[in-house]
Structure 1
Amino acid sequence: MNEKQHTIKAPVTVTGIGLHTGIVSNMTFKPAPANHGYKFQRIDMPGQPLVNVDVDNVVDLSRGTTIEQNGARVNTVEHTLAALVGLQIDNVLIELDGPEPPIMDGSAIEFVKALISVGMQEQNALRNYFEITKGISYKDDARGVEIAALPLDDYRLTVMVDYNSPVLGSQHASITDITQFQEEIASCRTFCFLHELEALFKQNLIKGGNLDNAIVIVDRVVQEDELAHLSELLNKPKVSVQEEGILNNTELRFKNEPARHKLLDLIGDLALIGRPIKGQILAARPGHAANVAFAKKVKRLIQESVIKNIPTYDPKKPPVMDINQIAATLPHRYPFLLIDKIIHLDDTMVAGIKNVTMNEPFFQGHFPNNPVMPGVLQIEAMAQTGGILVLNAMDNPDDYWTYLLAIDKCRFKRKVVPGDTIIFKCELLAPLKRGIAKMAGQAFVNGQLVIEAEMSAMIVKKDA
């Protein structure tokens, strides 16, 4: 998976009819700056309003995912978004001169081809992954739907479908790496059952649907008069079918093409979370309603994690301890005094700040042409932050030394480079006992976790 954000090198346009609205539109993908994300722009409307790709903007799930903001609505966004996620493109403005992206052939492959034709541009910003750290589940017993996310340092998806159909049977599809999307998933077309067609037409949907952009599955015997009626609905001179099979005997691109298309829809709908995901997604009988409900659950967890876990740093506010107070508490000095401010301090938690600049002495020898703060010094800075917490628990902190005893469960998540401001957070895991403190430490840059570890420290009296 990409470490840095990407956009496209140049604009590219696709044109076609919308599946449900039946309106022909032009959709233009345009490059966008880092941290822009995905935004649609209805250029056919007064003021050319923007619609952010956000699960909270979902307003309709009638056989597709529709979003709305600023009085503008965009129908059936999932295939477009799946193409962007599948190519690991992070920032794009999508101009649209109609209410719905073109359905093309019912898959995402034409969007993928268009995007690849202009190429990708790496941007000087890290991808803001949301990492699944514990199991997340969604269940709809009435529909027999289950979706779960499990921790994984990658993005893998598995989908199982079972419609009690003799034609489809039980199917599953999976990708173990998002780079497989282009070859394995992008060309898989949308589908529906024959018995659903009439109802969809009555709901004023699939006005742009035909046998060139959808697979129609026939799981019962069809009479000639019904086939004649279908030819009128689908604007075809003649439609035919075997006793059980696919209307007009269309050949599937994969034996499990329906399951693969469900996986495509899932990828597109989960883009509404607003951040790329690291985790394993398992889904049984997913649909747009379940996908969006699950995406909302994940987004709430993201919001809660930001509120609960990352200390807020406002450089305009005076610190709890400035550099002089820190130097008066800790014995460290240049070049080993590695924290600049303490912004929070109570009995169980401390938060400190480190402003990383190119003037750090370690950059002279640690990848000077690609400066990266050494991981051991990140640990040292986090330990110094924890030292402030531990000494704060003593009546006379000047009388004690703190020594690092152990480091457990240490994981480096992202590089720390010049220009970064690191927020360190250390929390006591248990009350101090016999001069031993055990802490959980984390460090964040721009809201992203860069390192985490558990640390044990020993407190020793100076005259001991």
Structure 2
Amino acid sequence: MNDKQHTINAPVTVSGIGLHTGVVSNMTFKPAPINHGYKFQRIDLPDQPIVDADADNVVDLSRGTTIEQNGARVNTVEHTLAALVGLQLDNVLIELDGPEPPIMDGSSIEFVKALQSVGFQEQNALRNYFEIPSGITYKDESRGVEIVALPLDDYRLTAMVDYNSPVLGSQHASITNLSQFVGEIAPCRTFVFLHELEALYKQNLIKGGDLDNAIVIVDRVVKDEELSYLSELLKKPKVQVQEEGVLNNTDLRFKNEPARHKLLDLMGDLALIGRPIKGQILAARPGHAANVAFAKKVKKMIREAAIKNVPTYDPKKKPVMDINQIAATLPHRYPFLLIDKIIHLDETTVTGVKNVTLNEPFFQGHFPGNPVLPGVIQIEAMAQTGGILVLSTVDNPEDYWTYFLGVDRCRFKRKVIPGDTIIFKCELLAPIKRGIAKMSGQAFVAGQLVMEAEMSASIVKKDA
């Protein structure tokens, strides 16, 4: 899986009819900046409103996933989003001059080909993965649906379907590496049972449905007069049934193509979580409603984890240690004393505050005209915060030195600029033994994680 964020090199357009609306539209994928994510833009509407690809924006799940925001609606987004996820693209603006992406052949492969034709661009920022911390389960017992996410340092998905049909029985499909997506999942087309067709037309759906963009599965005996009716309904000169029960002699691209398409839908719907995932997803009888419900459950977990981990800072409250007390504990002096306050300190955790101003000396040479707090300064400030924690475990801390031993898993999530207030939180990963401390550290600005790392340090008595 990619470590860095990616976008595309240049705009690329696909055109076609929408599956449910029957409206012809042009859809243009455009490069987007770091941390942009996936966004649709309805350029056919006044003010060209933006619709974020977000589970909280889902408004309809009738045979597809529809999102709405800022008075604009986009239907059937799952195939488009699956292509972006499968290609490990992070930041793309999707312009639409109609209400729905083109259905193309009913799969994601034409989107994939278009995106591949312009190539991909690595961006100078790490992907903001959400790593599944423990088992997450969603169940809809009335429909026999269950989706489970398990911890894994990768992204793997398995989908199982069972329609109690003599033609389409139990099937399953898996993807164990995203490199398989293009060849094994992206070409798999949407499908519908024959008995659903007329009902869908009566519900004003599948106006753009065609035997060229969907597999129609026949699971019962069909008389000639019904075939004639279907040919008129589908605007085809002739409709016939294959021996294995597929209309118009359509050749399946894979024996388990329906299950693979369900996996494709699952990938697209889970893109609405808003972050790339590390975990193993197991889905039994998934559908758009269950997929989106599961995505919302994961999003809620992400929000709760963020709220739980972000320290609160009230500048009106008296700090645990002010700058004079910090200076008396740490040996650092200008320009290397980087922490302004300690607002929390207990046996295992410390929280420090740094106010970033343009007056700091490194801004004279670091990106003049575009001041960005250097990553090494952030690490040093975090280390000084952790140093306060380590020194609090000994008597007469002024008699000790603390030395860096290592930094691991360091990730910079967002840039820090003058005017920001950084909140550093450091926590011991294990009790200090033989003068060696191991800590996890996080840095927050305005409630958002901007940097994290694991650090180790030694504490040594000055006369030792």
TM-score, with normalisation over the residues of structure 2?
0.83
State the alpha-carbon separation in 1 of the partners of residues 254 and 75 from structure 2. 27
Q: Write out per-residue CA displacement over residues 29-87 of structure 1, whole angstroms, 9 at most, x where no aligned residue.
A: 12222222111111111221111111110000000000011111110000111111111
Q: CA deviation at 1:107?
A: 0.4
Q: CA deviation at 1:457?
A: 8.6
1:61 maps to 61
Please list, as runs of the form range in 1=range in 2, the aligned pairs for 1:60-459 lying within 5 A after superposition.
60-311=60-311, 321=321, 325-331=325-331, 340-347=339-346, 349-352=349-352, 384-389=384-389, 391-392=391-392, 398=397, 401=400, 412=409, 414=411, 424-427=424-427, 441-444=440-443, 447=449, 450-452=452-454
**Cα distance change of structure 1 residues 231 and 3 upon mapping to structure 2, 3 Å threshold:** same
State the alpha-carbon separation in 1 of the partners of residues 433 and 112 from structure 2. 62
State the alpha-carbon separation in 2 of the partners of residues 178 and 318 from structure 1. 51
Please say if residues 387 and 402 of structure 1, whose CA atoms lie closer than 8 Å, have aligned partners that are also in contact: no
The number of equivalent residue pairs is: 444
Which runs of 5 or more structure 2 residues have no equivalent in the other structure?
Answer: 364-373
State the alpha-carbon separation in 2 of the partners of residues 261 and 343 from structure 1. 53
Q: Write out per-residue CA displacement over residues 280-306 of structure 1, whole angstroms, 9 at most, x where no aligned residue.
A: 211111110011001001111111111
Percent identity, aligned pairs only, is: 72
**Cα distance change of structure 1 residues 449 and 176 upon mapping to structure 2, 3 Å threshold:** farther
SS at the partner of 1:80?
Answer: helix
SS at the partner of 1:226?
Answer: helix
Q: CA deviation at 1:382?
A: 5.8
Are 1:24 and 2:21 counterparts?
A: no
Please say if residues 17 and 24 of structure 1, whose CA atoms lie closer than 8 Å, have aligned partners that are also in contact: yes
State the alpha-carbon separation in 2 of the partners of residues 358 and 372 from structure 1. 15
Q: Write out per-residue CA displacement over residues 384-419 of structure 1, whole angstroms, 9 at most, x where no aligned residue.
A: 53442355578x755775879x99xx9615369997
**Aligned letter for 1:347?**
D
State the alpha-carbon separation in 1 of the partners of residues 317 and 180 from structure 2. 48
**Aligned letter for 2:57?**
N
**Aligned letter for 1:79?**
H
State the alpha-carbon separation in 1 of the partners of residues 316 and 65 from structure 2. 42
State the alpha-carbon separation in 2 of the partners of residues 373 and 263 from structure 1. 42
State the alpha-carbon separation in 2 of the partners of residues 87 and 249 from structure 1. 31
Q: Write out per-residue CA displacement over residues 353-384 of structure 1, whole angstroms, 9 at most, x where no aligned residue.
A: 688x9979xxxxxxxxxx9869xx96x97665
**Cα distance change of structure 1 residues 29 and 224 upon mapping to structure 2, 3 Å threshold:** same
**Cα distance change of structure 1 residues 448 and 168 upon mapping to structure 2, 3 Å threshold:** farther
TM-score, with normalisation over the residues of structure 1?
0.83
Please say if residues 6 and 90 of structure 2, whose CA atoms lie closer than 8 Å, have aligned partners that are also in contact: yes
Please say if residues 372 and 417 of structure 1, whose CA atoms lie closer than 8 Å, have aligned partners that are also in contact: no
State the alpha-carbon separation in 1 of the partners of residues 214 and 130 from structure 2. 33
1:364 maps to none
**Cα distance change of structure 1 residues 313 and 6 upon mapping to structure 2, 3 Å threshold:** farther
State the alpha-carbon separation in 1 of the partners of residues 429 and 284 from structure 2. 38
**Cα distance change of structure 1 residues 281 and 42 upon mapping to structure 2, 3 Å threshold:** same
